[in-house]
Amino acid sequence: MFTPETLKIGVALVRVDDGRLLVTWNDNWGAFALPMSKCGAYGTREETPAVAAVRAAAEALVRPCRAVPGGAEVVIRKVQLSARDGELRNYDLTVVPVEVHPDYAPPVLDHRPVVLAQPGQLLAEAVQPVSDSMKPIMEALLENGQL
């Protein structure tokens, strides 16, 4: 029986006070997406999804970030055909509430392509183009009461 490769991905859910979410431009996908990264993307060390999500947010904002204390993680498991290489994969996506570390806030948003959008805009795909991974993540967050 064929068992597709499993990738563990940390997804950063960065909110601002008015409920908007941070999405960033991903050159590899040619689309906007929540900041996310494969666990251990920069080496062979073990990395938790929470650490990968914090790293992805820090890369997008160029600011020290941290997991929101007491924030609830949402795990989404799905099998999907990779648009990048056409391979079928199991994705274990862990969505982690992340914030800019208070000692380094507020974030400066004019240094790279980031957008703050309302969840409804992302669900309705009013922000274009968005990655194929966005809608299932947003729907799972809505279903889990995270949006």
pLDDT at 67: 96
pLDDT at 64: 93
pLDDT at 49: 93
pLDDT at 109: 61
Which of the pair, 102 or 83, is modelled with greater confidence? Answer: 102
Mean pLDDT (whole number) for 80-87: 72
Which of the pair, 45 or 59, is modelled with greater confidence? Answer: 59
| Mean of the per-residue pLDDT values of the chain | 84
Torsion angles phi and psi, residue 119, rounded to 5: -55, -40
pTM: 0.85
Mean pLDDT (whole number) for 15-37: 87
Does residue 43 carry a pLDDT above 80? no
Does residue 111 carry a pLDDT above 60? no
